[in-house]
A and B are shown apart, each in its own frame.
Chain A
Amino acid sequence: MHGPVDPAAQSDDTLFQTLIATAVDGIMVIDERGIVQVYNRACERLFQYGADEVIGQNIKMLMPAPYRNEHDGYLDSYRNTGKARIIGIGREARGQRKDGTEFPLYLSVGQGTLDGKRIFVGIVHDLTQLKAEEAAREEQRGMMASIVETSNDAIISKTLDGIVTSWNAAAERIFGYKAEEIIGKPISILFPPDLVEEEAMILAKLSKGESIQHYETVRRRKNGAHIDISLTVSPLFDASGKIVGASKTARDITERKAAEARLQLLQSELTHVARLSEMGQFSAALAHELNQPLTAILNYTNVAKRLLTSQNPDSPAKTYETIAKAGQQAQRAGQIIRRMRDFVEKRDSKRTIEDVNKIAADAMALGLVGTKVANIKMQTIFASRAPAVLVDKVQIQQVLVNLLRNAAEAMTESPRRELTVTTTNIDDTSVELSVADTGPGIPDELAKRLFEPFVTTKVGGMGIGLAISQSIVEAHGGQLRMTPNKDGGTIFHFRLPAAPDME
């Protein structure tokens, strides 16, 4: 088959030899039965077999099972049907070295005719290095994914339009949505209605490339419950440095917030209890101090009455002197009362703008701590839209606590024990607070003197609480009044003026 040597053909032949010898990729040629005709040096390196071991053999020796056994079938099938699996295309496949080990390769196969017979040319590119790098990257991705999945914090990514693109297990737990329920949906479904503007603020920061660290806010779970979270949001960049989205880390701080709230409540309760005992001690001291001039006044007036009916010639002068002394003692009592008012009005009188309903709710939470009366049905009827008031919150709470405790004690012997606290909006100019009980009520003769010191229906009571409460309410521009409860019992009520409009 070798004719006389044509110089041009010889030159082509040399080029062909050089080309296949120096090619980095393996080059081989097989006939249509699969017998190897050409097998270059790169192939020797890849498969470890020398050319002399392979040329003339079936190419399937270079393939691992199961391809090894199927290859003849492919060639037969192609010959008979013309249906190609690889020819003209190329695909990933596996090779087997002489020592039995396998390696990944990319095989492209072309078809041609030589001396009237069909031949196939295969180019083999070693994928070992590429596959190892890919596996390492895959492993790292898997590790990152498992870190994200096992994190206690919700880790979420979203586009700049706020569409959720990833959602980890903690996110499912914290927000209650499964990944498949929320990926592709706007993140705004997590926002409570009053916080929807927050997303605009977050996006504005992100678009400037800034991140948000430990921002404490509130989100809404799937079941509608609100949760406190601490949010960290960072921009995500693409390869060209363009911001394409954001990653969010959200930590559930509901428990921490609840603990903080409990602590705060406890602190304010302690303040209240301290205030109450201060008020109790103050009342006792005041009662004793007031009792002295009152005792003297009663004695002097009794003496004056006796002198007026006696026959003693000194009587008029003595009567005058005694009445004068009684007057001095009345003045002494008046001074004590004034000192008390100054004390109540001046100490800590810190006026702030407050929500009446909140003051009332706080007072109720504390008001009955330590009272011995059981089974009281507590009720609130709060105005849904009450104007804010400018008050000393602690003083107003003292008044309410005092009224609540009085009410509870008044119901000790009552079969029906209902305590109702009401706030009513009076034309947006003032708010009325009332405390109603279902106790025995207050007899008329006592009702007239109820706000005077030392007047009490309670065994062992000081009769000073209402007097102090009245002076607090008066200092706030109101008047504490009592009216009978139409269902039996008593209602105490007072109005607080609405705070002046600050705008």
Chain B
Amino acid sequence: MGLTIDLVDDDDAVRDSLRALLESGGYNVRDYASGVLYLQRSNEPPGDCMIVDHHMPEMTGLELLESLRANGNKTPAIILTGRYDPSLEPRIAQVNVIALLHKPVDDEQLFDWLDKACGENRAAH
């Protein structure tokens, strides 16, 4: 039985293509079109890893992770971003992410980071 990734991205094409990519790599994917929708999900336990887009309206990826960490959620996370903004680095360090990856992301690189993230999660459990 495969690992489950929670994917949060507001762009339909990016979300759909990432889902297809992750599934082709053997992962189960649950996707959400915004941080608010992710927080409103039913009492399901979090997935093994999260992939979160940073630039989203309403709630940014960083804000979503800050909110989750504040509530004790320690799910390993990868942030995707379309533009480089060094001023975010201190805040990113605070929410304990596995990686900050720039779009578009190389598939091999993404799977390497996912292996690392899920491995850490297993070790933590």
Interface residues of A (CB under 8 A from B): 284, 287-288, 291-300, 302-303, 306-307, 310, 322, 325-326, 328-329, 332, 460
Contact = CB atoms under 8 A, between A and B. Distances in A.
Interface residues of B, number: 20
B14 interface: yes
A302 B14 contact: no
Given A295-B82, A303-B20, 6 more contacts: A288-B82, A296-B13, A297-B104, A299-B18, A300-B17, A302-B107
B82 A299 contact: no
Nearest to A298: B104
13 contacts: A288-B82, A288-B83, A291-B82, A294-B104, A295-B17, A295-B103, A295-B104, A296-B17, A297-B17, A299-B21, A302-B21, A303-B20, A306-B21
- 4 tightest Cβ-Cβ pairs between the two chains A and B: A299-B17, A296-B13, A295-B104, A302-B107
Nearest to A285: B83
Nearest to B23: A303
A300 B103 CA distance: 14
Interface in B1-33: 11, 13-14, 16-18, 20-21, 24-25
A27 B38 CA distance: 133
B101 to A, nearest CB: 10
A384 B50 CA distance: 64
Contacts of B74: none
Contact of B107 (A296, A299, A328): A299
B39 interface: no
A325 B12 CA distance: 11
Contacts of B105: 295, 298
A284 B18 CA distance: 23
B17 A291 contact: no
Contacts of B13: 292-293, 296, 325, 328-329, 332
Contact of A303 (B11, B14, B17, B86): B17
A299 B83 contact: no
Contact of B11 (A296, A297, A307, A322): A296
Nearest to A306: B24
B11 A292 contact: yes
Interface centre among A296, A326, A460 (most CB of B within 10 A): A296
A291 B16 contact: no
Interface in B92-117: 103-107
A302 B20 CA distance: 9
Contact of B84 (A298, A303, A329, A460): A460
Given A288-B83, A295-B103, A306 B14 contact: no
Residue from B17, B18, B21 having most chain A Cβ neighbours under 10 A: B17
B115 to A, nearest CB: 16
Contact of B20 (A292, A297, A299, A328): A299
A284 B83 CA distance: 8
A322 B104 contact: no
A183 B74 CA distance: 97
Contacts of A292: 11, 13-14, 82, 103
Given A325-B13, A460-B84, A291 B104 contact: yes
Given A294-B104, A295-B103, A296-B11, A325 B82 contact: no
A287 to B, nearest CB: 6
A39 to B, nearest CB: 116
Contact of A307 (B16, B24, B55): B24
B82 A287 contact: yes
Nearest to A309: B24
Contacts of B24: 302-303, 306-307, 310
Nearest to A312: B24
Nearest to B82: A291
Contacts of B55: 288
